[in-house]
């Protein structure tokens, strides 16, 4: 303990700070009785408590204590600078004694050298900061000769930062530094280093100049040249692996994964690994693998048939050098038709796959076909028989075993209605194999709806009315009719469409497959959906339907529905919670999270929108509206929203009036009517009841307001009469007005002979 503060083992003490008994270092062991305890000098000798410069004071109990101090006017000699130990309750020769160390130093000392390491091991370049904390004498301009950072290698010591007197400068090609004065002689000399991995090919941080770990030294030279100045050195290691992980190898790969492994490093050389995956110049993913023995990783979520650069670095406190390999993912299973590739879930018109030369090819590159098959999803137990066809199985197929497993499916006879729909292809094994690769295709007659979707839903819920689009994509037969509707109301209806002459207002996407997109733009005002001149009132979720029928016979009708989530009801119990002259707070009953994603609060004055606020979260059902005008009536509308806004609840709230004139001129006049009577007038607004909302205090006694007149449409004048007092007692008179629950007041003091 020193100066009332506790210190840990290994603390430092400036000799100037421990002069005199009141500044002693107290070594104490609670609950023991002193029995030979002592301080021992840096050369192993017991401190002689009766000789200069060091003295001690002992306390036997209840806590064994030996206090060490320097006599005033004395100082420790250079030979006395260093580590001291205190042994309690017995002397230091007792192996069972308790020991604590303290460093007593002259001039200055390096208390600590530490490093702030990068928290994220996955990012290059890495930046870290070295700190050297100097303590002791505070006169740098006179006594600081050197405060330098060095980089140490086997063959040399390279100066990185130079400190002298009050200056500090770093001339380091991979870093910079600064000094910070904490006061009372404590300084932080900092060196910030940027490490870019093995891309550093020259200078002290290059791999060729070290064995992985980086050794830095802080050197301090301080003191009066004629009074034995001190020199101090402190070292710190920053650990980094010396070598890259070896034997980086591709273990396995699929269309979307790559597995790699490498030779694990010893635990003394590595804490873990960082795996970085790039494609061209883009970083795809970076993974930190903890533990030196974890030397295999599977990288997921990759793209089909894509080449990736995979880099592995070991790390300790910093990243080490890298090993890199290039790996291409497999193509993955895909569909091909008429020379074009198709993705999973594609649609095929039966008329376009009606011969062996117009087949749908299911392909898995890099594999050999074993038991792969096509299967109708609705009848999984009866796969397509590639060698024969019938009314219940109108398809045939041809196979290619390698180098890419392939099954070519084509229609060998008419496609009955019961056999159209979804088919799946499994490669290279059959669909019962859980590890097989699967892709789906829809084979249809006449026309089909490829997709029916909602586009451009509003992101900003505060914009009103709301607008979005319905997109229905038709594929297949060139003669058809198409409509989009809500309920029984058709928003768009096109009949007799013939793609050859483009007589309907669709957008052609793919001519070879007669893929046409039809779009309807919808406007929603909270009660009605409209498109052009067509409108329909609705509440709650909006379900739209797209209908496609082949023309002219309407032999087959396709229907797709899409639903947009809209709150069905307005927030209930919309209530004013509080208000001031410039704010209004309202609340409402929160809707369930399944019925609302949040709320939109709209504030208007007359026809002008004052503000609109989007409140996220279904449970957030209170809001304070700021920046309003005093004495103004606002209409406040609250709507819940999901994908669109729901119906509204509305209340009207008037802010409190601005009482600026009352704040400053509440007591408007004091008039002496005659030698025996005075009148005090107090002005208030007319939107109060002067008989109940105005009262007076006279020397703390409440008086009712009984005299008031309306002087204009906005102002009451309230009057109180007072009379002289021959004893000359001063009177404190206060006019108090309650407006909207807020108290306004002003006091005056009438001096000299006035009384009620």
Per-residue pLDDT tens for 165-190? 889 998 777 678 899 999 999 999 99
Residue 3 resides in a domain? no
Kindly state the average pLDDT of the residues 225-234: 94
Residue 560 resides in a domain? yes
Which helix (H) or strand (E) segment holds residue 695: the answer is: strand 694-698
Looking at the DSSP bridge assignments, the partners of residue 165 are none
- Ramachandran quadrant class, 387 (left: phi over 0; alpha: psi -120 to 50; beta: rest): alpha
> Of the ranges 15-19, 358-362, 684-688, which one carries the lowest mean pLDDT score?
684-688
Q: What is the pLDDT of residue 685?
A: 80
The token pair that represents 587 in the structure block: 């609340």
**Domain end position, chosen among 62, 85, 105:** 105
Tell me how far apart the alpha carbons of residues 166 and 273 are, in angstroms, rounded to a whole number: 43
Residue 662 pLDDT grade (very low, low, confident, very high; cuts 50, 70, 90): very low
**Burial degree of 738 (CB within 10 A; 0-12, 13-18, 19+):** middle
CATH number of the structural domain spanning residue 518: 2.60.40.10
- State the pTM of this model: 0.55
Q: Is the pLDDT of residue 209 over 90?
A: no
> Do 124 and 33 sit in the same domain of this protein?
no
Least Cα distance to 527 among 488, 561, 570, 470 occurs for 570
Residue 754 pLDDT grade (very low, low, confident, very high; cuts 50, 70, 90): very low
Q: Is the pLDDT of residue 223 over 50?
A: yes
Q: Is the pLDDT of residue 586 over 80?
A: yes
> Do 609 and 534 sit in the same domain of this protein?
no
> Do 418 and 314 sit in the same domain of this protein?
no
Kindly state the average pLDDT of the residues 421-435: 94
> Do 426 and 501 sit in the same domain of this protein?
no
Tell me how far apart the alpha carbons of residues 616 and 621 are, in angstroms, rounded to a whole number: 10
Average pLDDT, the chain: 89
> Of the ranges 367-371, 503-507, 686-690, 752-756, which one carries the lowest mean pLDDT score?
752-756
Per the model's pLDDT, the better-predicted residue between 680 and 421 turns out to be 421
Kindly state the average pLDDT of the residues 505-525: 94
Q: Is the pLDDT of residue 18 over 90?
A: yes
Residue 97 resides in a domain? yes
> Do 638 and 724 sit in the same domain of this protein?
no
Q: What is the pLDDT of residue 472?
A: 98
Q: Is the pLDDT of residue 750 over 60?
A: yes
Q: Is the pLDDT of residue 665 over 70?
A: no
Tell me how far apart the alpha carbons of residues 111 and 13 are, in angstroms, rounded to a whole number: 10
Q: Is the pLDDT of residue 732 over 60?
A: yes
Q: Is the pLDDT of residue 225 over 80?
A: yes
**Residue 723 DSSP one-character state:** B
Spatial CB neighbours of 14, under 8 Å, sequence gap ≥ 6: 105, 109, 135, 136, 137, 185
Residue 570 resides in a domain? no
Quick: pLDDT tens for 451-507.
999 999 998 998 889 999 999 999 999 999 999 999 999 999 999 999 999 999 999
> Of the ranges 27-41, 183-197, 581-595, 711-725, which one carries the lowest mean pLDDT score?
711-725
The token pair that represents 279 in the structure block: 């494609």
The token pair that represents 497 in the structure block: 């469409």
> Of the ranges 460-464, 551-555, 631-635, 661-665, which one carries the lowest mean pLDDT score?
661-665
Residue 755 resides in a domain? no
Is the Cβ–Cβ distance between 155 and 209 less than 8 Å? no
Q: What is the pLDDT of residue 659?
A: 47
Percent of the chain with pLDDT over 90: 66
The top-scoring range by mean pLDDT among 186-200, 570-584, 664-678, 703-717 is 570-584
Pairing relation of β-strands 437-444 and 346-349?
Answer: parallel
> Do 347 and 319 sit in the same domain of this protein?
no
Least Cα distance to 470 among 531, 525, 536 occurs for 531
Q: Is the pLDDT of residue 445 over 50?
A: yes
Count of domains for the chain: 7
**Residue 418 DSSP one-character state:** G
- The gap between the terminal CA atoms of the chain, to the nearest Å, is 70
Residue 672 pLDDT grade (very low, low, confident, very high; cuts 50, 70, 90): low
Chain CA centroid to CA 496, Å? 54
Residue 756 pLDDT grade (very low, low, confident, very high; cuts 50, 70, 90): very low
**Burial degree of 340 (CB within 10 A; 0-12, 13-18, 19+):** exposed
The token pair that represents 459 in the structure block: 């992101």
> Do 419 and 477 sit in the same domain of this protein?
no
Residue 676 resides in a domain? yes
**Domain end position, chosen among 383, 417, 444:** 444
Looking at the DSSP bridge assignments, the partners of residue 324 are 311
Tell me how far apart the alpha carbons of residues 395 and 399 are, in angstroms, rounded to a whole number: 13
What is the domain range of residue 740?
660-750
Which residue shows structure tokens 């483009």? 502
Kindly state the average pLDDT of the residues 543-570: 91
> Do 693 and 732 sit in the same domain of this protein?
yes
Pairing relation of β-strands 98-105 and 11-14?
Answer: parallel
Percent of the chain with pLDDT over 70: 94
Quick: pLDDT tens for 59-100.
999 999 999 999 888 888 899 999 999 999 999 999 999 999
Kindly state the average pLDDT of the residues 19-36: 93
> Do 118 and 227 sit in the same domain of this protein?
yes
Residue 569 resides in a domain? no
- DSSP structure string for 80-132: G-EEEEEEESS-TT-TTSEEEEEEEESSEEEEEEEEE--S-TT-SSEEEEEEE
Quick: pLDDT tens for 337-367.
999 989 899 999 999 999 999 999 999 988 8
> Do 644 and 745 sit in the same domain of this protein?
no
Tell me how far apart the alpha carbons of residues 38 and 20 are, in angstroms, rounded to a whole number: 19
> Do 228 and 313 sit in the same domain of this protein?
no
**Domain end position, chosen among 105, 132, 150:** 105
Q: What is the pLDDT of residue 753?
A: 43
Residue 244 resides in a domain? no
> Do 98 and 114 sit in the same domain of this protein?
no
């Amino acid at each position: 303990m020193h100066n009332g503060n506790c210190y840990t083992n290994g603390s430092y003490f400036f000799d100037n700070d421990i002069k005199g008994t009141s500044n002693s270092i107290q070594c104490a062991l609670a609950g023991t009785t002193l029995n030979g305890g002592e301080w021992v000098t840096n050369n192993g000798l017991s401190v002689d408590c009766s000789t200069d410069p060091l003295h001690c004071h002992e306390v036997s109990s209840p806590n064994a204590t030996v206090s060490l101090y320097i006599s005033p006017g004395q100082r420790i000699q250079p030979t006395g600078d260093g580590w001291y130990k205190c042994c309690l309750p017995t002397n230091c020769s007792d192996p069972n004694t308790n020991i604590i160390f303290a460093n007593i130093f002259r001039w200055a000392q390096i208390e600590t050298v530490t490093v702030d390491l990068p928290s994220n091991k996955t990012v290059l370049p890495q930046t870290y900061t070295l700190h050297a904390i100097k303590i002791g004498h505070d006169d740098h301009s006179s006594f600081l000769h050197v405060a330098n950072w060095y980089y140490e290698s086997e063959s040399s010591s390279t100066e990185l930062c130079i400190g002298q007197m009050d200056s500090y400068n770093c001339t380091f090609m991979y870093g910079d530094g600064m000094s910070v004065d904490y006061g009372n002689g404590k300084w932080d000399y900092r060196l910030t280093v940027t490490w870019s991995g093995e891309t550093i090919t020259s200078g002290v941080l290059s791999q060729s100049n070290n064995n992985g770990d980086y050794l830095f030294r802080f050197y301090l030279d301080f003191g009066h040249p004629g009074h034995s100045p001190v020199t101090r050195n402190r070292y710190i290691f920053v650990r980094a692996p010396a070598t890259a992980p070896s034997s980086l190898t591709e273990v396995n790969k699929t269309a979307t994964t790559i597995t790699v492994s490498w030779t694990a490093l010893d635990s003394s050389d590595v804490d873990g690994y960082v795996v970085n995956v790039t494609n061209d110049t883009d970083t795809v993913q970076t993974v930190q693998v903890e533990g030196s023995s974890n030397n295999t990783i599977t990288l997921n979520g990759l793209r089909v048939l894509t080449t990736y650069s995979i880099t592995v670095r070991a790390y300790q406190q910093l990243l080490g050098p890298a090993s890199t390999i290039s790996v291409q993912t497999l193509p993955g299973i895909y569909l091909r038709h008429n020379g074009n590739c198709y993705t999973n879930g594609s649609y095929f018109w039966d008329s376009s796959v009606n011969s062996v030369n117009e087949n749908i090819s299911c392909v898995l590159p890099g594999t050999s076909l074993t038991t792969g098959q096509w299967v109708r999803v609705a009848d999984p137990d009866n796969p397509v028989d590639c060698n024969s066809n019938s009314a219940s199985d109108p398809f045939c197929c041809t196979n290619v075993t390698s180098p890419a497993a392939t099954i070519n499916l084509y229609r060998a006879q008419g496609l009955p209605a019961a056999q159209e729909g979804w088919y799946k292809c499994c490669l290279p094994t059959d669909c019962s194999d859980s590890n097989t690769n699967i892709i789906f295709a829809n084979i249809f007659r006449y026309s089909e709806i490829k997709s029916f979707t909602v586009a451009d839903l509003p992101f900003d819920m505060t914009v009103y009315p709301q607008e979005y689009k319905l997109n229905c994509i038709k594929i297949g037969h060139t003669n058809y009719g198409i409509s989009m509707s809500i309920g029984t109301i058709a928003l768009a209806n096109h009949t007799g469409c013939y793609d050859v002459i483009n007589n309907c207002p669709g957008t052609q996407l793919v001519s070879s497959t007669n893929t046409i997109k039809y779009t309807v733009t919808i406007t929603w005002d909270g009660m009605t959906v409209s498109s052009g001149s067509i409108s329909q009132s609705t509440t709650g979720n909006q379900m739209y339907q797209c209908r496609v029928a082949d023309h002219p016979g309407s032999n087959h009708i396709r229907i797709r529905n899409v639903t947009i989530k809209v709150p069905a009801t307005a927030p209930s119990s919309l209530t004013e919670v509080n208000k001031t002259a410039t704010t209004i707070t309202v609340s409402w009953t929160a809707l369930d999270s399944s019925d609302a994603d949040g709320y939109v609060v709209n504030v208007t004055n007359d026809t002008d929108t004052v503000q609109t606020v989007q409140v996220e979260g279904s449970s957030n059902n209170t809001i304070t509206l700021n920046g309003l005008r005093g004495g103004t009536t606002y209409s406040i509308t609250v709507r819940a929203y999901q994908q669109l806004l729901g119906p509204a609840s509305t209340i009207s709230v008037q802010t409190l009036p601005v009482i600026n004139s009352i704040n400053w001129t509440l007591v408007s006049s004091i008039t002496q009517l005659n030698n025996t009577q005075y009148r005090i007038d107090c002005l208030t607004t007319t939107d109060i009841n002067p008989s109940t909302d105005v009262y007076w205090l006279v020397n703390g006694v409440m008086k009712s307001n009984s005299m008031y007149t309306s002087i204009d449409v906005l102002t009451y004048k309230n009057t109180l009469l007072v009379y002289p007092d021959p004893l000359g007692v001063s009177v404190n008179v206060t006019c108090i007005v309650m407006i909207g629950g807020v108290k306004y007041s002003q006091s005056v003091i009438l001096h000299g002979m006035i009384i009620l």
